[in-house]
Amino acid sequence: MSSALVSVVIPTYNRAYCIERAIDSVLAQTHRHVDVIVVDDGSKDDTRELIARRYGGDARVRYIYQENRGVTGARNAGLRQVRGDYVALLDSDDIWKFWKLELQVACLERLPQAGMIWTDMEAIDPDGRVFDPAFLRTMYSAYQWFTSDDLFDESFPLPDISVSPPALTNPPRLYLGDIYSPMVMGNLVHTSTVLLRRERFEKVREFNEELRYSGEDYDFHLRTCREGPVAFVNLASIEYQKGMPDQLTSDAYNIFRARNFLNTITPVLKRDRERIRLSHDMLRFLLSDAHQWVGEAALDIGETAEARRHLSRSLLLRPWQPRSAGLLILAILPRRFGEGMRQLYRTVKAMARRLTHEAPIP
């Protein structure tokens, strides 16, 4: 078994009710060489006391407190303290399978050209029940464009490791490739599943703190993929918590996700257009869809001028779009007529989301 040290950064804010599960899932890893950095982003609950009581005598756990700066600032504070050969990221409401690090370290040691590896994930509800055993393609809508064979250049049977994941009907595979171009269509990587080689981390360094509330993950992983090949295992290595009211994936943050996505891809397309191996039609669809997303999210919160601007841009890029056209009409209607229609639209959309249980995230 590898003796490589893995530094694990866990940002947290008012998560005393669940952070023990996250930390314990790291300390229970079959890969024993871990360095856990818990960054408390100004919690008002008893997080500090809990960490001191449960882990104060464990040299593997370091606790950092800072005034509230948001999850991006908390992650960066932890990343500045890493000392491992590998760097892992874990949200404080997620849980790792006990074999996660051992599997990923073994894969990266087999593929020295890969700077990062990530996996699929199980989705669990607030009661801990699994409602989707392979949630990655459900959560990240960019997967609609690609199969695993489209994304990667090579694949291998999963390497044998000393503690194997449970036997599955379809044996998992290890994939390798340069996915920078496909990543431009949207995020394909979930943060709590990631393990970074130290050399790749040194090239990417930090999350962009200008991307408040959401979207910083996509920007970070996109820059990671820009630096070279990455690897993926089509096996769930974490339990991803869904349905908690304090999550940044809730609908209240949709406008930030939409704006930050557009603000991430716009400079990328200007800088790297010659490098990005995507068709002109795909890129027009991408930009049109991104403007529609911002326009719809702006309409949801009553920012009708912003909605009109982005929905008009979406239609200029791709004229035949009944959805964007309908949303633009809602944004143009006079206040005395439009607000009632917009409220009806928001109600119907909320009902549809509850029925489908999940709104995919680009």
- The 3-state secondary structure of 15-55, one letter per residue: CCCCHHHHHHHHHCCCCCCEEEEEEECCCCCCHHHHHHHHH
Query: By the 8 A CB rule, do 237 and 96 touch?
Result: yes
Q: What pLDDT does residue 168 have? A: 61
What pLDDT sits at residue 357?
A: 47
Distance of alpha carbon 171 from alpha carbon 106, whole angstroms:
17
Residues 74-105 pLDDT 10s: 999 999 999 999 999 999 999 999 999 999 99
What is the DSSP pairing of strand 61-65 with strand 130-132? unpaired
- Mean pLDDT, each 10-residue run in order, the chain (362 residues): 94 96 97 97 97 96 96 96 98 96 95 97 92 95 94 88 62 94 98 98 96 90 98 96 66 88 96 95 96 94 94 96 90 69 60 51 44
Q: pLDDT value at position 358?
A: 47
Judge residue 144's burial from the number of C-beta atoms within 10 Å of its C-beta, 0-12 exposed, 13-18 middle, 19 or more buried.
Answer: exposed
Q: Measure Cα distances from 143 to 48, 183, 240, 273 in Å.
A: 39, 9, 18, 21
Say what the pLDDT of residue 162 is. 55
The owner of tokens 């291998």 is 156
Beta strand extents in 32-115 (DSSP E only): 34-40, 61-65, 86-89, 95-96
Q: How far apart are CA 12 and CA 143, in angstroms?
A: 29
For the chain, domain boundaries: 6-241, 251-356
Greatest Cα pair distance, the chain, in angstroms, is: 68
Q: What is the DSSP string of 150-218?
A: HH-SEEEEPPP-SSPPPP-SS--EEEEE--HHHHTTS----GGG-EEEHHHHHHH-S--TTS-SSSHHH
Pull the structure tokens for residue 151: 């994304």
Q: CA torsion, points 234, 236, 242, 248, in degrees to nearest 10? A: -60
pTM value is: 0.90
Structure tokens at 243: 């349905």
Kind and range of the H or E run holding 146 = none
pLDDT at residue 342, as a whole number: 60
Give the DSSP H/E element, type plus range, for residue 81. none
Q: Which of 294, 306, 269 is nearest to 284 (CA)?
A: 269
Q: Which of 114, 184, 123, 182 is nearest to 148 (CA)?
A: 182
Mean pLDDT estimate for the chain: 90
In whole angstroms, what is the distance from residue 105 CA to residue 115 CA? 11
Question: Top-level CATH class of 6-241?
Answer: alpha beta
Kindly provide the b/e burial profile for residues 95-134, where b requires at least 16 CB atoms within 10 angstroms of the residue's own CB.
bbbbbbbbbbbbbbeebeebbbbbbbbbbbeeeeeeebee
Alpha-carbon distance of 134 to 145, in angstroms, equals 17
Residues sharing a CB contact under 8 Å with residue 222, sequence separation 6 or more, in sequence order: 180, 183, 184, 187, 264, 268
Strands 34-40 and 173-177, by their bridges, are unpaired
Amino acid at 229: P
pLDDT tens-digit map of 312-362: 999 999 999 998 998 998 888 876 555 665 666 656 555 655 555 444 444
Q: What share of the chain is helix, strand, coil (3-state, %, to 5)?
A: 45, 15, 35
Look at phi and psi of residue 164 and say left if phi exceeds 0, alpha if psi is from -120 to 50, else beta. Answer: beta
